[in-house]
Chains A and B, each alone.
Chain A
């Protein structure tokens, strides 16, 4: 199909643009300048700041009496964000992005006026990553605001922000951010290549991009870091990672991703190192408990009683004596109920959610135990496991799947099944790489220096170098 360009006939150009954008919210408005030259303004109704448009473009042009060339007309538009385009398809894209387009009699190019109306919510603390100590700002859905939050933290020319567009129909703006000289060039190029190769009609959220950025897109394990907090995002950029801010999504992405990142929290850097170490180890313990506790409980009852002290075993034996289900089915049932309750309480309106929690905790829990459907230890184990899962919120999806796999293995083969599934997970994790960086670093491959900011956190003064696993060209971050 031939590419359409500005013809110089205002009515025809406006009609052609309207033909490209037949939607009813795309409006046109005609006016004349001082020499009775006809102008047509095409704009998206809800996306354009009409007041600003009138102030910065329409009012000055009504008084204009000069040359019809776009270059000359542009000089009279007061907006700081104004540019010219010849192709009608490009002009149509700008209209859809919220920028009004002007065409007029005798025009050699169309004029794009940057008076997009931006409706954004306030920068608030993200609900998924609440900090007691530390910054409370969170990213919002507007990419411009998000880049400003990043820019404010890096007053250096080394911070590069490259705007890309992804999505055939959504044309979503994606800001690729990195620190020049700190992030490896090949990482930036690889991100560009991967984003450029995406052929999808719409990208409503940053999560869509994670699959395209992963080397193993079908993997159960996440390979792209996520955060909602600008301070964390900037800290990751400073370590030598590249970041992506996606318009319409408050979740920023960072690559390369290391598994250990999700055990770190922004607060760890605001508390003494010993406290941070303790909480990180606690998170690890909680995660292990979440994954292994239900499985070991089942394996102990079915295959290896010796895993439990005899008195505890007798207590459990007493509790499960009249339970009609086998220990493995009982545990699976309780876990599924927990997952359903969890899913429902998240999706439910706040007040109904609270009621649901009461129903779940009291009616299902207490009554099921009294009725002899499930035993008290099973409820306790699942509750403990459920709490443990939330100690590392960024890994909930992965850990809940692994927990289920462990439970199935334990119920089928016993403790040996748990050992084999653990071995399988280990192999899978250590062989997963993204952007040439192993997910399991700095444990596998072992990088001794990087261990200082993993489960054991050293004092900030000891973290003089950037993580070696990321192979940043600028190794030292502190002198």
Chain B
């Protein structure tokens, strides 16, 4: 007995080793390895009356013979009553397990944003294997078509779009990006509002590309496809999960200023281009008598270019005249005003008035939370200063 007990650890180790070797060589622990996986880089969601259409842009490895650069991809569409159904449909069609761990972009088509977007975003938020850091965007027309379009600047449209939403682009002030997390926080918060960049695809004149994968309809025939360039200078704003308005590029710029995002972004006024070298925006709420919101923008600007030729001594001048400063301040204030009016008109609390109210005073929030935004007193101050 003693001898038997003495050898138990050795036997246990032997059994353990055999078990490990078995699992290692059988290599089937329900795992979905890289060869069975569809790496979804981006997903586009469209909606019909009773179903969703999810277009997944799947990265296609180029093989060891990498003679060309870039990333090639294929777009495949799945349909179903829910997003989960759409993914199951994709799996059924391709035999690849769609993995969304690298999905950095979700594009919602026009049809998807007309109803509560969380009908479909809910899946992405719920699924612990999908990063909440993925970017959100909406687009003109169908999201599936946007992703299937041939980009003029990258083999893969999602990667071209991500360039559009880069940090550098955001600093320019002409695009406002948001992630699933930020959008969800806005949606579930006191303000129930949010925004997404609005993408338009424009055909590049005189460009046509051979091939391009089909939009998932099984049509693998090479086709002449127009190359597209994308712009996202407009911003779709949401209230209660539905798109309620579209901000113009100027309003988007004003929104960027208020968020304090801009560094070295340029804007044009009266035939002159100015660069914003420092930007600080503020949104303050006061609840003294009646609720009021103060929107403030202070920025350092410099003349960057003119549409007319000027003498060399003028080129060296960095400072702005007081008149110019006043003019620019008024211009920026008008953009901010326009932004507020658009949002208030659509009852979209984009600037988180209600959230600020709640944070400042729950009692005041309880009292004023149902007050229409159009009735809130707005104080706008904008100051554009030249370099001294």
Chain A residues close to B by CB (< 8 Å): 301-303, 305-306, 310-311, 313-322, 326-329, 332, 369, 375-376, 408-409, 411-414
Contacts and interface: CB of A to CB of B under 8 A. Distances in A.
Contacts of A414: 31
Given A326-B27, A411-B27, A412-B29, A305 B62 contact: no
- Is chain A's binding surface mostly helix, strand, loop or mixed? helix
A376 B64 contact: yes
B35 interface: yes
Given A305-B102, A375-B64, A310 B27 contact: no
B29 A413 contact: yes
A315 B61 CA distance: 7
Contacts of B59: 310, 314, 317
11 contacts: A301-B34, A305-B34, A310-B102, A313-B34, A314-B59, A321-B63, A321-B64, A322-B63, A328-B24, A412-B20, A412-B23
Contact of B71 (A314, A326, A412): A314
A351 B105 CA distance: 58
Given A302-B27, A321-B61, 18 more contacts: A305-B37, A305-B99, A310-B41, A313-B102, A314-B39, A314-B59, A314-B62, A316-B34, A317-B39, A318-B62, A318-B64, A319-B64, A321-B63, A322-B64, A411-B23, A412-B24, A413-B29, A414-B31
A375 B31 CA distance: 21
Contact of B34 (A311, A317, A412): A317
B25 interface: yes
Interface in B99-157: 99, 101-102
A408 B34 contact: no
B61 A317 contact: yes
Contacts of B41: 310
Contacts of A326: 27, 33
A332 B27 CA distance: 13
B23 to A, nearest CB: 4
A413 B23 contact: yes
A379 B39 CA distance: 24
Given A305-B102, A411-B24, A327 B63 contact: no
B192 to A, nearest CB: 32
A449 B345 CA distance: 69
Nearest to A316: B34
A319 B66 CA distance: 9
The listed residue with most B CB atoms (<10 A of its CB), out of A303, A314, A315, A316, is: A314
A320 B34 contact: yes
Interface string B32-57: 01110101010000000000000000
B63 A306 contact: no
Contacts of B71: 311, 314
Interface string B1-24: 000000000000000000011011
A314 B34 CA distance: 10
Nearest to A317: B61
Contacts of B64: 318-319, 321-322, 369, 375-376
A409 B33 CA distance: 16
Given A316-B34, A321-B61, A409-B20, A328 B39 contact: no
Nearest to A309: B102
A310 B39 contact: yes
A318 B34 contact: no
Give the top 8 A-B pairs by smallest Cβ distance, nearest first.
A318-B61, A317-B61, A412-B23, A411-B24, A301-B34, A302-B33, A412-B24, A310-B102
Contact of B33 (A301, A319, A376): A301
A376 B63 CA distance: 11
A320 B61 CA distance: 9
A319 to B, nearest CB: 5
A200 to B, nearest CB: 23
B39 A306 contact: no
Nearest to B102: A310
A305 B101 contact: yes
Contacts of B39: 305, 310, 313-314, 317
